[in-house]
Amino acid sequence: MYLSNQSLIVIVVVGVVAGWLAGQIVAGGSFGLIGAFIGDWLLPRLDIHIGVGTVALVINATIGAIVLLIILRLFAGRNGGGWRGRFGRRW
């Protein structure tokens, strides 16, 4: 799979926008790039096709980021959660 420089820029921009949108919908954020990959993988397997174009990419990535944030929240628990580092500090 070959990605041009323009494709990489689009992926980064879509990931940033999707991360921001997901952070507005679900408390948290900064998982837009990972969410873009999750959304791109998950939605076709669920037979959900949003469309083509940049807007569809942003919606797809936002849905993936929201799914990721919900999963992380489930694993973090209700005690304030957060991923703890080696010495007990949050990341």
Q: What is the pLDDT of residue 28?
A: 65
Q: What is the pLDDT of residues 27-81, one digit of tens each?
A: 766 677 787 788 878 888 888 888 888 888 888 888 888 888 888 888 876 555 5
Mean pLDDT, residues 12-20 taken together? 84
Q: What is the pLDDT of residue 83?
A: 53
The one-letter amino acid code at 58 reads: V
What is the DSSP code (8-state) at residue 59?
A: H
Q: What is the pLDDT of residue 56?
A: 86
Q: What is the pLDDT of residue 29?
A: 63
